[in-house]
Amino acid sequence: MNIKNYINGQFENPSSNSWIDNYNPSNGEVYGQIPNSSKEDVEQAYKAAKSAFPSWSQTTLEERSRILIKISELLEANLDRFAEAESKDNGKPVSLAKMVDIPRAASNFRFFGNAITQFASESHESVGQNAVNYTLRQPIGVVGCISPWNLPLYLFTWKIAPAIAAGNCVVAKPSEVTPMTAYLLGEICNEAGLPKGVLNIVHGLGTTTGQAIVEHPNIKAISFTGGTATGAHIAKVAAPMFKKLSLELGGKNPNIIFADCDYDDMLNTTVRSSFANQGQICLCGSRIFVEKTIYEKFKVDFVEKVKNLKVGHPSEKDTNIGALVSKLHLEKVKSYIEIAKEEGATILCGGEEVTVDGFENGYYLQPTVIEVKTDDCRVNQEEIFGPVVTIMPFKTEDNVLEMANKVKYGLSATLWTNNLKRTMRMSNQLQAGIVWVNTWMMRDLRTPFGGVKESGVGREGGFEALRFFTEAKNVCIKY
């Protein structure tokens, strides 16, 4: 199936008539093509957004809210269609897409559709000066949104929804690896009555289409989720142009387990936090540190549960681990397993490709648990982004805190303990934008989301997102 760009409410072929193959990870076969868009396509999308902006920015909050909530309702009504498309494009189990990805995309539109009606700024009376100051929050104009392949519609809408809720118009690029649900979103937006040009979706490579969005002189803000190296490049291009930037980048997240935790809850959640979505979530706990007194028990129990995870075709209801997103990514993940062996680590389970009957060319890999000797080995320091975790013991709180923070990333951390004082101490000292205690991936859309160090710049979520997609203007009136 060939998909098209969505520009000014219409579906358009790329101006160059150049196309990119789109693969189904479950069988390794090409099942369609996407536009290989150029600067000309991005410029066409920008002009549509620019033309739509004056009217959209003056639309009432109630009308914007109504349209966003309608998009949410239509996504929910088309749950099965979108979940199956997401699975076919990405390789994740259909059950996961149906339970998490598509419902969350719908929630993004509903949340920001409601949030914009509650978003407020501040005023300050200048006592003794007969003056009052108040702050306007005004939309930026045309903004760029670039999203990754691991949670395609989920993260695409996480950017688009607050951007258009705040009154901006958008030029968006989904990952060229997983473009299908972004394409289908255009149909939903038309059905919901979103005015032409408010959202424009341009498909293509990051090095060409993405680059054209980032370097466009009149796209005034960029919201990007993806790899740290790409984020650094975007920052370098955008800085001299004084664009607003929100960068949600890589992670190498610690999962810290103390002996006083609720063991069964911890064990079940740790399996999920290690291997959900084939480990292709920036928030997965890929470094597991276990207090020495329970380490051997944990190792046995954890490996047994991991071995029982079923690797299979995404459409099968009992599949736990689907296909990795691409052949290239599969090879990258496998290379880190070889690096672990070279570093003297022990492969406790997994590490091998899996052949699924009838889908022998799919990109399947066993969930892999690696016991490492030191915390500074490459597999414990570099983002692998696959169904691979490392485990090692620790003795003291100070010891594990040092190891947890000794990476260049700082996106999330998970802490398992029933000691309140320890919880407060460590939550304060862990270098991460998000700390989960006795849980994982429990999200409240009102809370700020983002990382520190090389995990990113800025925050998404709640009013933080609406602040990013608006400019603050102070007005001072003397009376």
Told to judge if 248 belongs to the known catalytic residues of this protein, a careful annotator would answer yes
Among candidate residues 84, 86, 176, 248, the one labeled active-site is 248
What is the Cα gyration radius of the chain? 23
- What number of helices (H) and strands (E) belong to the chain? 16, 22
Among candidate residues 189, 261, 282, 377, the one labeled active-site is 282
Report the distance separating Cα 171 and Cα 322, nearest Å.
31
Contacts of 245 (CB under 8 A, 6+ apart): 221, 222, 224, 234, 235, 238, 457, 458
| DSSP code for 241 | G
Report the distance separating Cα 346 and Cα 218, nearest Å.
52
Report the distance separating Cα 134 and Cα 49, nearest Å.
29
391 burial via Cβ count (<10 Å: 0-12, 13-18, 19+)? buried
Contacts of 97 (CB under 8 A, 6+ apart): 82, 83, 84, 86, 87, 90
Which helix H or strand E contains 265, and what residues bound it? helix 263-275
Report the distance separating Cα 267 and Cα 330, nearest Å.
27
Strand pairing class (169-173; 368-371): unpaired
Report the distance separating Cα 391 and Cα 124, nearest Å.
53
Report the distance separating Cα 191 and Cα 172, nearest Å.
19
| DSSP code for 343 | T
Q: Is residue 432 a contact partner of residue 440, using CB atoms and an 8 Å limit? A: no
* Three-class secondary structure of residue 393 per DSSP: strand
Report the distance separating Cα 171 and Cα 180, nearest Å.
17
Strand pairing class (412-416; 368-371): unpaired
Assigned token pair, 259: 């002996």
Told to judge if 282 belongs to the known catalytic residues of this protein, a careful annotator would answer yes
Q: Which residues are catalytic?
A: 248, 282
